[in-house]
Structure 1
Amino acid sequence: MKIEQIYTGCLAQGAYYITSNGEAAIIDPLREVQPYLDRLERDNVKLKYIFETHFHADFVSGHLDLSKATGAPIVYGPTAQPEFEAVIATDGQEFQIGTIKIKVLHTPGHTMESATFLLLDEKGKEYAIFSGDTLFIGDVGRPDLAQKAAHMTQEQLAATLYHSLRDKIMTLPDEVIVYPAHGAGSACGKNMSKETVSTIGNQKATNYALRANMTEAEFIKEVTDGLLPPPAYFGMNVAMNKQGYESFENVLNQGMVAIPVADFEAIADESGALILDTRKNAVFAKGFIPQSINIGIEGDFAPWVGALIADVRQPIILVTEIDQEEETVTRLSRVGFDNILGHLDGGFEAWKKAGKEIDTVHRITADEFANEVNIGENTIIDVRKESEYAAEHVEDAYSKPLAYINDWIKDINPKEPFYLHCAGGYRSMIAASILQARGFRNFTEIEGGFNAIAKTSIPKTDFVCQSKTLNT
């Protein structure tokens, strides 16, 4: 028996590849399935089952393409109602893979079809669980995402999750390994650890939601407290996972279409496409196609695309570094953005050589910022998370997280100048590109963000005035 966790950092997602005696199972596969097919061939094993812990909200699974390529059936837990052929397991049903078995434990709460898959080793011993979004390391799945589908409140779902955890998971032996679907950085929980593997015993000792003697009421309050609104694309990803989607190969082939500079503007205008520039923020600042949005491929690219663009049906044309086109299309497809019309042939350099119009972002260093800013007089907008701002921020700065830019941008006065920063420049350049695309030119973005600002003499504080509102 062999278990491999295939962890994708930009999604904070774990898929699992399990083999035993010439047979294999894959749990929660990513959208692009060729790496799995290559691995199966290399290991000379047959894929027997594809297990899905639930209808994922934060990424599009590769279950359909993988099943089509291998003939392996897709297995869901009880109550799942996919709009394609699948095995809907009963609670406690077992599936043989070589000399081991996978036992289905119905663990509703995050979603009502959520299942935890218990691996029984060659001797029938309870060895590991693949807990999906039911149990994370240090946290549990948020209970607010499936409210509409379940016709339940988040409190009712949380109560259901409480009993799933205590009746199905916490009763397992302490040495049972826990393999979750996500780690820190995922929006499917709020307090996940950077660790991606643990044990039942360790989670009982350290996970706030598995605390001994915790009442149902306490669990509901603590699990639902502080939940941020889910990204808008989540519901669309659930629908794709449940109803079906375009083959990844088709999406990739379309995205790899090279659009000549001469045709680029016409295609963008006629299609209403968003121009998405995935180059590094420092490169983007020095020159880009007007109206384009910068979300760098080297950061938390796919989640930010999902959070800020929201509608997965939005037509997109890409501007990437040369040879990053395929990686960009792949990452977009993982979160359901399939309407990619192609990419700029030759990248931004081709646009520049053609003498086309170019825009720039007014960016200064932290030292320049320190020399010219007047604390208490100038407006400073911090687009980091509220928790980062609360830990320490520039004195008198406003907290306006990037995730909510579509809400707070309406409060910006286009005639009043302001400074803009995040932690290191990635998020503030996203904000800068959105602001300029919507006509705002009255700001200065800080290179290096708060990490660089913290090294200057600019006054900083951890005091948060709850009544402070943006009025620029």
Structure 2
Amino acid sequence: MKIEQIYTGCLAQGAYYIESKGEVAIIDPLRETQQYVEKANHENAKIKYIFETHFHADFVSGHIDLAKKTGATIVFGPGAETSYETYIAKDNEVFKLGDITIKVLHTPGHTLESSTFLLIDENGKDHAIFSGDTLFLGDVGRPDLAIKSDLTKEDLAAMLYDSLRNKIMPLADDVIVYPAHGAGSACGKNLSKETVGVLGEQKKTNYALRANMTKDEFVKEVLDGIPPPPQYFAKNAMMNKSGYDSFETVLKRGNTPLDVDEFEAIANQEGALVLDVRHEDDFVKEHIPNSVFIGIDGAFAPWVGALITDLKQPILLVTPKGREEETVTRLSRVGYDNTLGYLKGGFDSWKKAGKDIDVLDSISPDDFVHKTNTNDLNILDVRKSGEHQSMYLNLKGVKNFPLDFINDNLHVIDKTKTYYIHCAGGYRSVIAASILKARGFYNLVNIEGGFDELKKTGVQMSDFVCPSTL
């Protein structure tokens, strides 16, 4: 028996490769599926099953493409309905894979069809659970993402309580827990940085598995502090339910080099968004006018999903050299399949062609603090509200303006005013500034290095809740 976790940090997502006696099961595969095919071929094995723990909201799974390539059966838990061929398992149904068995435990709560897959080894012993978003290390899945359900989030949270206590907690303490996500995922609120654990440890440390916890207490605690889900979650879940273009088609279309004139013509004629994924420092120094920055080396895919509201938005890319295919791939993981190509030769080719160039005004933390001594400034802190409330600049004119909700809050700022923008380290503030400039806010100044560098200046801070928080 072989179990391999294939973890993708950008999405904080774990897919799983399970093999026994030449038969393979893949659990929650990523959009790009050739990696699983090659792994199975290398082991002279055949992919027999593709198990989906639920309709994922935070990424587009590769189950449909993988089934077409391999002939494997896609398996969902009870209640799932799809527009493509699948096998809908019954609760407690078992599937043979070589010498081992995979048992379906229907664990609704995160979503109605959510299921946990229990791996029983060749000796008949419960070995591991692949818990999807039902159970994380340190947390459980948020119960507010069901597609078109008449149930409330309170109803689903109550279901999750029953699922955990009736299906998961009775299992032995030494059962290994393989969750779908780790820290950084928006599918929970307190996920551990660890990506593999054991059930006994979760029974001791996970707040949601606390002994003697009532259902009412569970519902209240699970729902407390959950922010609204990113706008792309429901759209990704529907793609996973209804189907999508093949990854190879998306990649071929997006991984197309365009010379400067072609690039500019498409941007002007088709209303394509120019997405610059270089490092934020490069964008600050020079960029294509009206382009939007979301750097490939940050939490790229989740920020794209949170900020670009139309999955079908035509996109043109400005990338670091050699990272064109990677960028198209990572966009496709969250359902942005309409990339039309990339700027051949990168930003340098734009400069050499003599095209217009824009810059983002910036200021050092020391110069900013010096300016606050003699001026009242308008300051936008684009960190999350929890970050802001834990510590913020104790200066007149500070407003928490979370990047997550920038598209909803443009009305609260004034195009005639100058704003100084900071985040924690400089990545999110440049994203925010680029979006604002593209929307006609031109009087913007980025504070270099963000809050981390501002703290070193000795400027006055506060850890009380700021009354100007949106």
Same fold by TM-score greater than 0.5? yes
Whole-angstrom CA distance in 2 between matches of 1:370 and 1:48: 62
Post-superposition offset of 1:35: 1.1
Q: Which residue of 1 aligns with 2:347?
A: 348
The one-letter code of the counterpart of 1:101 is: T
Q: Which residue of 1 aligns with 2:465?
A: 464
- CA deviation vs aligned residue, 1:164-187 (integer Å, no higher than 9, x gap): 000000010111111100111111
Q: Which residue of 2 aligns with 1:428?
A: 429
- CA deviation vs aligned residue, 1:39-59 (integer Å, no higher than 9, x gap): 111111111111000110000
**TM-score w.r.t. structure 1 length?**
0.97
Whole-angstrom CA distance in 1 between matches of 2:165 and 2:90: 19
> What 5-or-longer segments of structure 1 have no aligned partner?
none
Whole-angstrom CA distance in 1 between matches of 2:109 and 2:164: 9
Whole-angstrom CA distance in 2 between matches of 1:7 and 1:264: 34
Q: Which residue of 2 aligns with 1:112?
A: 112
Q: Which residue of 2 aligns with 1:441?
A: 442
Q: Which residue of 1 aligns with 2:408?
A: 407
Q: Which residue of 1 aligns with 2:12?
A: 12
Q: Which residue of 2 aligns with 1:54?
A: 54
The one-letter code of the counterpart of 1:321 is: P
Whole-angstrom CA distance in 2 between matches of 1:468 and 1:229: 20
Post-superposition offset of 1:409: 1.9
Whole-angstrom CA distance in 1 between matches of 2:13 and 2:401: 28
Q: Which residue of 1 aligns with 2:237?
A: 238
Q: Which residue of 1 aligns with 2:171?
A: 172
- CA deviation vs aligned residue, 1:224-247 (integer Å, no higher than 9, x gap): 111111111111111111111100
Check the 8 A contact 1:77/1:88 in 2, yes or no: yes
Post-superposition offset of 1:104: 0.2
The one-letter code of the counterpart of 2:200 is: G
Whole-angstrom CA distance in 2 between matches of 1:62 and 1:119: 22
SS at 1:221 equivalent: helix
Q: CA 1:469 to 1:48, structure 2 compared with 1: closer, same or farther past 3 Å? A: closer
Post-superposition offset of 1:20: 1.1
Check the 8 A contact 1:231/1:310 in 2, yes or no: no
Whole-angstrom CA distance in 1 between matches of 2:52 and 2:239: 14
Whole-angstrom CA distance in 1 between matches of 2:300 and 2:141: 23
SS at 1:269 equivalent: helix
Whole-angstrom CA distance in 2 between matches of 1:381 and 1:262: 37
The one-letter code of the counterpart of 1:118 is: L
Post-superposition offset of 1:265: 2.0
Whole-angstrom CA distance in 1 between matches of 2:70 and 2:303: 33
Q: State how 1:11-410 maps to structure 2 within 5 Å.
A: 11-146=11-146, 149-374=148-373, 377-396=376-395, 397-410=398-411
- CA deviation vs aligned residue, 1:141-166 (integer Å, no higher than 9, x gap): 101111x5221000001111110000
Whole-angstrom CA distance in 2 between matches of 1:87 and 1:80: 9
- CA deviation vs aligned residue, 1:388-420 (integer Å, no higher than 9, x gap): 112222113321110011122211112222210
What count of residue pairs does the alignment treat as equivalent?
A: 468
The one-letter code of the counterpart of 2:274 is: I
Check the 8 A contact 1:254/1:342 in 2, yes or no: yes
Task: Give the root-mean-square deviation of aligned CA atoms.
Answer: 1.2
Whole-angstrom CA distance in 1 between matches of 2:186 and 2:117: 22
Q: Which residue of 2 aligns with 1:418?
A: 419
Whole-angstrom CA distance in 1 between matches of 2:458 and 2:106: 56
Check the 8 A contact 1:24/1:47 in 2, yes or no: yes
Whole-angstrom CA distance in 1 between matches of 2:374 and 2:33: 53
The one-letter code of the counterpart of 1:419 is: Y
Q: CA 1:469 to 1:232, structure 2 compared with 1: closer, same or farther past 3 Å? A: closer
> What 5-or-longer segments of structure 2 have no aligned partner?
none
Whole-angstrom CA distance in 2 between matches of 1:383 and 1:48: 47
Whole-angstrom CA distance in 2 between matches of 1:457 and 1:191: 31
Whole-angstrom CA distance in 2 between matches of 1:326 and 1:109: 37
Whole-angstrom CA distance in 2 between matches of 1:125 and 1:375: 71
The one-letter code of the counterpart of 2:458 is: S
The one-letter code of the counterpart of 1:189 is: G
Post-superposition offset of 1:189: 0.8
Check the 8 A contact 1:375/1:395 in 2, yes or no: no
SS at 1:230 equivalent: coil
The one-letter code of the counterpart of 2:48 is: K
The one-letter code of the counterpart of 1:126 is: D
SS at 2:231 equivalent: coil
Which 4+ residue blocks in structure 1 deviate beyond 3 angstroms?
none
Q: CA 1:273 to 1:118, structure 2 compared with 1: closer, same or farther past 3 Å? A: same
SS at 1:150 equivalent: coil
SS at 1:67 equivalent: helix
Whole-angstrom CA distance in 2 between matches of 1:255 and 1:23: 34
Whole-angstrom CA distance in 2 between matches of 1:158 and 1:73: 30
SS at 2:340 equivalent: strand
**TM-score w.r.t. structure 2 length?**
0.98
Whole-angstrom CA distance in 1 between matches of 2:399 and 2:414: 14
Whole-angstrom CA distance in 2 between matches of 1:118 and 1:175: 13
